[in-house]
Structure 1
């Protein structure tokens, strides 16, 4: 898991991403900060679309930014949503994250606006996942 300094930096990235999100339909903004294996942090926000469910989740946006930067492995993600509830990546994003992570080593940290936080490994959130190894 990340140290407190890295968590604070990731939280700032996730909050800035959430502030930039486009959520005119649900009015539920989400920001994510993804830690690449090279130590860089990639932000992503949810982008909704009138043709539900064609929107993009915050985690998927962060993954796209990471891949665009040439990074192919991730260490963890911090997710922050509106309100008091802790949120975790949806099922589709768990699968997307799995593509670039080892589930037992990849951490998922959820933080709400009150500062409450909880952490899991991707393995805990997504056990027995399908991976690129299945296609080898």
Structure 2
């Protein structure tokens, strides 16, 4: 079953992603990214990008949010399935005011992991100056490899 969302629900999740972007640690790129993940129980988990002087050790906002969910011990049990994701990015103080920002390839895979654990195909809103672009995770990462492939 595909869950639908109201414009108010979408806008609230995008606002949570923008608030998360304000907490980004991005002294090198000056590109702040925020992600907000809506779980089936209605809880929202956010993350912001965290850069490192050794660039390869930097963490994306989506990965930070997923790590928060999984490290809390939830395996799509208490919080339920991943229902929706909002991602935004841009200059400090201006997330969502530039080109559309979507999850990078690594983050698509990380989101797929938690989605497969909960048996969902979450809606993803990618923020940009012309409004959010909406698609399912399966559209962002077709033919995804995940936990189901290892059973």
CA contact 2:124–2:135 (8 Å) conserved in 1: yes
RMSD: 1.8
TM-score with structure 2 length normalisation?
Answer: 0.82
The alpha carbon displacement at 1:38 in A equals 1.7
> Residue 54 of structure 2 aligns to a residue in which SS?
coil
Any stretches of 5+ residues in structure 1 without a counterpart?
none
Any stretches of 5+ residues in structure 2 without a counterpart?
91-96
- Paired residues, number: 135
Match of 1:107 among 119, 123, 126: 123
The alpha carbon displacement at 1:21 in A equals 0.2
The alpha carbon displacement at 1:29 in A equals 0.3
1:25-44 map, 5 Å = 25-44=28-47
Q: 1:77 corresponds to which residue?
A: 85
> Within 2, Cα distance between the matches of 1:79 and 1:59?
8
Large movers: runs of 4+ above 4 Å: none
> Within 2, Cα distance between the matches of 1:69 and 1:85?
35
TM-score with structure 1 length normalisation?
Answer: 0.90
For the structure 1 residues 91 and 40, does the alpha-carbon distance in structure 2 shift closer, same or farther, using more than 3 Å as the test?
A: same
